Structure 1
Amino acid sequence: MKEEAIWQVAVLDDHPLIGKAIQYRLAQEPLLQLAGTFSQRQQLMAFLQRNPLDVLVLDYMLGDGDLDGLQMVKQLRMRYPNLRILVSSSVEKPAIVQLLLKAGVHGFVGKSEDQEVLINALHQVCRNKRFLTADMLLEMDKFSESDREMHEYLLPREMGDDLTLLLRELSPREIEVIRCYLDGLSITQIAGKYARSRKTISGQKQTALRKLGLRSDLELFKYKEYFSGLVQHH
């Protein structure tokens, strides 16, 4: 135990080597104490109930059976509002970072970065400063300027919360049209089913695609199973 340690740091990453590497590097940092490394959310939650922690280094993409990063962040922020969260991820996309910052993380470091960047980030976050690399800030500026659709950056699994929110923007009729379209009905068949004009149905489908951030039928069908599940429950 380093007696002069000020900040308690924990790592949640399902890749054991990441935890080991951070453990080795933090041993050389007098102001940072590694309180624990965890590969599963349950282990971390059990630890947090009994131990004080200043900063959590969180991998955005945990194993398939675990919560995605966004949900995890929201849960942690609710239960431990004083805990600072630094996300470390191989998914280095401005849209993801934007969502994470909105959810309350204090910094983001891509896994392609040198380990010293992570150490620097930890020091900044411990001092209650937000940390993003200059490259990421530039990417986010470009992303905001062009206001690109988020679907270019997000995979279905990473989009869970956000798709649900986007679906809420759809009117009941737009949802009906998307549901029928995914079931294989043509615009003409949907128009006949609901006794509306083909033009109306086509317009509702286009509006729904735009609201969902999709530019083509191909993109809609790429996420067919995903959307079907969400639309059915809507």
Structure 2
Amino acid sequence: MSYLDDIDNMDAFAIRVILADDHPVMLSGISHEFAEVKTIQLVGTARNSTELIALLTSTQCDVLVSDYAMPAGEYGDGIALFSLIKRRYPAIKIVVLTMLDNPAVIRALVTQGVTCIVSKSDAGTHLIPAVHAVHSGGKYYSPTINQIVQSIDWNRRGRGSSDVLSQRESEVVRLFASGLTVNEIAEKLSRSKKTISTQKSKAMEKLGIEREVDLFRYAMENGLVTSSQKTSDSSSSTE
């Protein structure tokens, strides 16, 4: 077997990875890390959910490494986006990269079946074993995430429990927290006002939230909406 045959065989067995993050510096840094690893082949990058879904549809990959909070894009982000990907592309394994240290977020991810989570506050090198772990059906938490997982009371129900929001409920919460009224959300999503109100109420019930101000806080803390998105959407709704 020649040297070129060896190279071809290594490429054939490399884990094909798509990377999604809305920060160009993160994309560049992680891409550089992956380029140094012969068992990982980066086959594409995306900066939002619109680009990501298009890439997943057109490009074969084994593992998706995705930021949790990517507000821009027509498919949203966070739990709603990962739920969609799991349904639409069940063969693709997911590694979540996040700067959030909220136990509710981590609990929701774990109960969604995400077994490999890396904190952005930990070294980027943790992504490499995470990719290998998820590809082989294993589990990997970077140190910061592992501390959070150990601190969670898994017997307690409430925010972030196994009753995670459906994609539609998450979408309603995201739009409501961005500043839209129930009427405006109904018009935007082509649903009835009653349906939107019911989905909002159901989401609050699942999360153990009684006040709307706490629903806003939940959306911010869980990456469903950012402060800049709230300002932008609120402004557009009054134009």
TM-score normalised by the chain length of structure 2: 0.62
AA aligned opposite 1:222: V
Matched residue, 1:108: 117
Matched residue, 2:189: none
Matched residue, 2:104: 95
Check the 8 A contact 2:116/2:130 in 1, yes or no: yes
Secondary structure (helix, strand or coil) at the match of 1:129 reads coil
- CA distance in 1 between counterparts of 2:67 and 2:201 reads 23
Matched residue, 1:172: none
Match of 1:83 among 87, 92, 101: 92
C-alpha spacing 1:136/1:148, structure 2 compared with 1 (3 Å): farther
Taking CA–CA contacts closer than 8 Å with sequence separation of 6 or more, which of the two structures ends up with the larger relative contact order? 2
Check the 8 A contact 1:84/1:106 in 2, yes or no: no
Check the 8 A contact 2:122/2:143 in 1, yes or no: no
Select the structure of larger CA radius of gyration: 1
Secondary structure (helix, strand or coil) at the match of 1:144 reads coil
Check the 8 A contact 1:163/1:212 in 2, yes or no: no
Is the aligned partner of 1:31 residue 2:39? yes
Q: Measure how far apart 1:30 and its partner are.
A: 0.6
**Structure 1: runs of 5 or more not aligned:** 152-156, 170-210, 215-219, 228-234
Matched residue, 1:222: 213
Match of 2:61 among 47, 53, 58: 53
Match of 1:15 among 3, 16, 23: 23
Matched residue, 1:44: 52
CA RMSD of aligned residues (A): 3.2
- CA distance in 2 between counterparts of 1:97 and 1:163 reads 22
Secondary structure (helix, strand or coil) at the match of 2:41 reads strand
AA aligned opposite 1:29: V
Matched residue, 1:217: none
Tell me the alpha carbon deviations over residues 18-47 of structure 1, each in whole angstroms, 9 at most, x when there is no partner. Answer: 111111111110100001111021222222
Q: Measure how far apart 1:61 and its partner are.
A: 0.6
Matches within 5 A, 1:1-234: 3=8, 4-5=10-11, 6-64=14-72, 67-144=76-153, 147=156, 150=159, 160=173, 165-168=202-205, 212-213=208-209, 220=211, 222-223=213-214
Runs (4 or more) in structure 1 with deviation over 3 Å come to 145-151, 157-169, 223-227
Check the 8 A contact 1:124/1:131 in 2, yes or no: yes
82-91 vs 132-141, greater mean Cα deviation: 132-141
Secondary structure (helix, strand or coil) at the match of 1:33 reads strand
C-alpha spacing 1:103/1:221, structure 2 compared with 1 (3 Å): closer
C-alpha spacing 1:165/1:143, structure 2 compared with 1 (3 Å): farther
- Alignment: residue pair count: 175
TM-score normalised by the chain length of structure 1: 0.64
Check the 8 A contact 2:119/2:144 in 1, yes or no: no
- CA distance in 2 between counterparts of 1:30 and 1:225 reads 44
AA aligned opposite 1:160: V
- CA distance in 1 between counterparts of 2:129 and 2:45 reads 19
C-alpha spacing 1:105/1:224, structure 2 compared with 1 (3 Å): closer
